[in-house]
Amino acid sequence: MKRTLSGIQPTGIIHLGNYFGAIHNWLPLQKEYECFFFIADLHALTIFQKPEILHRNILDLTKLYLAVGLDPVKNIIFKQSAVKEHAELGWLLSCVTPISELERMTQFKDKSTQHKDNINAGLFTYPCLMAADILLYDTDFVPVGEDQAQHVELTRTIAKKFNNQYGDVLKIPEALINKVSARLKGLDDPEKKMSKSAPSDYNYIAMTDNPDLIRKKIKKAVTDSGTEIKFTPEKPALENLITIYHLTTGKSIEQIEKDFAGKGYGDFKKELAERLVEFLTPIQEKYNSISDADVEKILAAGAEKARKLAQAKMILVKQTIGL
């Protein structure tokens, strides 16, 4: 069976952009592939984290994985830091990764501008650890948002370089990118991606936002000039809201335009808010029903399964290198 692997950093709230750009695309993969879904807690340390908040975020993100329907029995759900082979392989890969490749990474450039007071070595070698996450399990497919495509491409380059140098031990993975949802934009600024690090909370809808807050945020979302509900690049704000409507309801863009023919932005936004409430309420109910103890148990069982595979792969890799 082919393998897929993906992860998210536990660095705070998860918004619709993260959900539709990443987790949502993982759901159908469970049927077809052997899946690894992990919490990228080591990656999170490239930005300063308060220990007690980081721990809370790890549990909450795992809860969300479970609440949206990732099955902990069928899939391997675990925490990156619980399988030390990730860091070990990360080091080996950093020794074949050209600095010039790391310097090209958009995320490094963005994050080192955002966090000028903490441009640490981890932020720079981040893609080597990400490559290790992927290559440790002979992953075939890596479902990620568009902004991570560059890192998956670099993973392929690193794996090929390693294989050329030492022999064919690493499997070359492929990115899986869902075009429609690849990049949701900020509700307050449709020129930029929806992001939890945006200056205003009105930039995003968090998966845990309550109905009143969802209604408030959608009402406040910026709109374009004109009145017609039309999906066009000339109306970037509306294009983004229609995409959200499409993703939450499964209705086609054409159908949405038809349904709102002759109606205005106000009507559309009201409906969109209600559809979002309907979509998020059952997820939130499930989320609230999962205890921290349940999560700890699931993470421990997942790590045990992952560790077995990771250890076997590391033995092979180390032999190949001559360690």
Binding site for ligand ADP (CB under 6 A): 8-9, 11, 17-18, 21-22, 144-145, 147-148, 182-184, 193-197
Determine the Cα–Cα distance for residues 72 and 64; give it in Å rounded to an integer. Answer: 12
Q: For residue 316, give both structure tokens.
A: 């092979």
Instruction: Tell me whether residue 7 or residue 96 sits nearer to ligand ADP (CB atom).
Output: 7
Contact between residue 65 and residue 79 where contact means Cβ atoms under 8 Å apart: no
Active site residues: 111, 193, 196
Helix (H/G/I), strand (E/B), else coil: 102: helix
Instruction: Tell me whether residue 63 or residue 151 sits nearer to ligand TRP (CB atom).
Output: 151
Helix (H/G/I), strand (E/B), else coil: 298: helix
Which residue's CB comes closest to ligand TRP? 40
Q: How far is the CB of 29 from ligand TRP (least distance, A)?
A: 13
Instruction: Tell me whether residue 161 or residue 196 sits nearer to ligand ADP (CB atom).
Output: 196
Q: How far is the CB of 287 from ligand ADP (least distance, A)?
A: 18
Instruction: Compute the radius of gyration of the chain from its Cα atoms.
Output: 21
Q: How far is the CB of 121 from ligand ADP (least distance, A)?
A: 20
Whole-Å CA distances, 288 to 10, 55, 63, 184: 18, 17, 8, 26
Instruction: Tell me whether residue 86 or residue 193 sits nearer to ligand ADP (CB atom).
Output: 193
Q: Which residues bind ligand TRP (CB under 6 A)?
A: 5-9, 40, 43, 130, 133-134, 142, 144, 148, 151
46 binds, among ligand ADP, ligand TRP, none (CB under 5 to 8 A by kind): none
43 binds, among ligand TRP, ligand ADP, none (CB under 5 to 8 A by kind): ligand TRP
Q: How far is the CB of 145 from ligand ADP (least distance, A)?
A: 2
Contact between residue 231 and residue 253 where contact means Cβ atoms under 8 Å apart: yes
Where does the chain have alpha helices with state H? 16-18, 24-26, 29-32, 41-44, 51-67, 85-94, 99-103, 106-114, 121-135, 149-166, 211-220, 236-249, 253-259, 265-289, 292-321
